[in-house]
Amino acid sequence: MKILVIHNFHRKGSASGDDVVFRSETALLESHGHEVVRYSAANDEFDRAGLFGKLKITFGMLWSFKHAAAVRKLIREEKPDLVHVHTFFPLLSPSVLYAAKKCGCKVVATLHDTRFVCPAATSLCNGKLCNECADGHYFRMRKKHCFKGSGLQSFIVAAIFRYHRKRRSFYDQIDRYVCLNDEQMRLLTSAGFDEGKMVKKYNFVIDPLNQSAAGTPRTLPERFAVFYGRIGEEKGIRMLMQIFGEVTDVPLVVMGRGPLEDEFAEFAKERPNVHYLGFVEREECLYIVKQAEFVIFPSIWYEGCSMVEIEAESLGKPVIATDLGFSSEAIRHGENGLKVPLGDRDGFIEAIRTLWAKPETAAEMGRKARADYEEKYQPEENYRQLMEIYESTLNDNAR
């Protein structure tokens, strides 16, 4: 099978979840003998552009003639059996969906976030969960500065998504939605999306226990908990600071970068039990996670299918996570981890103290987490599901 896979990278070399999934899924398809044609753009293009270039790219977010033409040309030349779109916003724009459909291709789209319900993709407003825009009245975003804290940018994004909602771009130009959890499917259904087009498929990670793992010698505590990932509001960084403002006797190692990294670095300097390492290369990062007692994941948004949680399970580590999104169904409370209600600081503190005081309980949960990984999140099972999705989409002549 020949598949054209389309993706808008956050940045070149980005470790963001959708960027990682794009790379890993295309490599998985090729390893099974399929021909993969990649078409991508990266947001670095916007960063490098001058004022005129930025304006041009901004208008292109509504409809990119450049990328639509390039996709049509690529389809005519390569004649793929199917088109799989991961992320199209902001640079590629929904025009690539129309380009594929105009060429007669079936379109599969993986929904890595809640952007079809919330144009800001986070379903957050001032740090709180918000699904008001599911009704399509996006212009309230301008007043609330939902997109990057800017009223102007929020207005532009709202206008783009209002236009495409009226055109039914996301309803009619996609043949199959690959959703990452049940909650995401419920949100889409409530926003009027066709449940019959939805299928759930988790992400996967290559088994790190089958790979060489090495770490640079670091001065770390003998025992510690770990948080790693984006140092951003949606990942619960401020909740993490609240928790470890109280917990002073449990060492915490934190790895990652993001918009709140300076604020967190200042927080860590004042607390001897908090060790902030900044960005750590993936191999060493997993090596450190493997040494930890457990992983803390206080996310405050609808995680799609968290690579952090899957990686933690693959390393045999239990996760203490917010009972929301993917975590709600991935974690069986008391078996492979612990779930805490959204915003419950004291609940997190209690869960951390419980596992810290009972390492044998954490180890047993870790063994069950590893078994869960082996059952659900390995490459071969993911490949089987992906091929079922492709074949059912190609055979669905009613669409």
Cβ atoms of residues 326 and 181 within 8 Å = yes
By the 8 A CB rule, do 210 and 189 touch? no
Dist CA 367 CA 370 (whole Å):
5
Tokens of 350: 């209690």
Q: What's phi and psi for 226, nearest 5 deg?
A: -140, 145
DSSP 222: S
Cα–Cα distances (Å) from 175 to 182, 196, 292, 327, in that order, read 19, 10, 43, 27
Rounded to whole angstroms, the Cα distance separating 308 from 115 reads: 21
Half-sphere exposure of 338 (CA within 13 A, CB side): 20
Burial call 154-172: b when 16+ CB within 10 Å, e when fewer: bbbbbbbbbebbeeebbee
> Beta 337-340 vs 319-322: how paired, if at all?
parallel
How far apart, in Å, are the Cα atoms of 178 and each of 134, 184, 201, 388?
A: 19, 10, 6, 12
The CA distance from 201 to 264, in Å, is 34
In tens, the pLDDT along 364-383 reads 999 999 999 999 999 999 99
DSSP of 284-318:
HHHHHHHHSS-EEE---S--SS-HHHHHHHHTT--
What pLDDT is stored for residue 399 in this prediction? 43
What pLDDT score does 398 carry?
43
Q: Contact at 8 Å (CB) between 369 and 317?
A: yes
The answer for residues whose C-beta is within 8 angstroms of residue 169's C-beta and 6 or more apart is: 94, 97, 98
Residues of the chain whose pLDDT is less than 50?
398-399
Please state, as a whole number, how many other Cβ atoms lie within 10 Å of the Cβ of residue 81: 15
Q: What is the pLDDT of residue 71?
A: 98
Which residues, listed in sequence order, are joined to residue 255 by a DSSP beta bridge?
Answer: 228, 278
Query: 253, 275 in Cβ contact below 8 A?
Result: yes
What angle do the packed helices 17-31 and 379-395 form, to 10 degrees?
Answer: 80
Q: What is the dihedral of CA 369, 374, 376, 381, to 10 degrees?
A: 170
Calpha distance 79→234 (Å, rounded): 40
117, two tokens: 């319900």
Q: What's the pLDDT at 216?
A: 65
Q: CB-hemisphere CA count at 13 Å for 197? A: 22
- Full set of structural domains in the chain with CATH: 2-204+379-395 (3.40.50.2000), 208-376 (3.40.50.2000)
Phi-psi domain of 136 (left: phi exceeds 0; alpha: psi -120 through 50; beta: other): left
DSSP string, 230-268: --SGGGTHHHHHHHHHH--SS-EEEE--STTHHHHHHHH
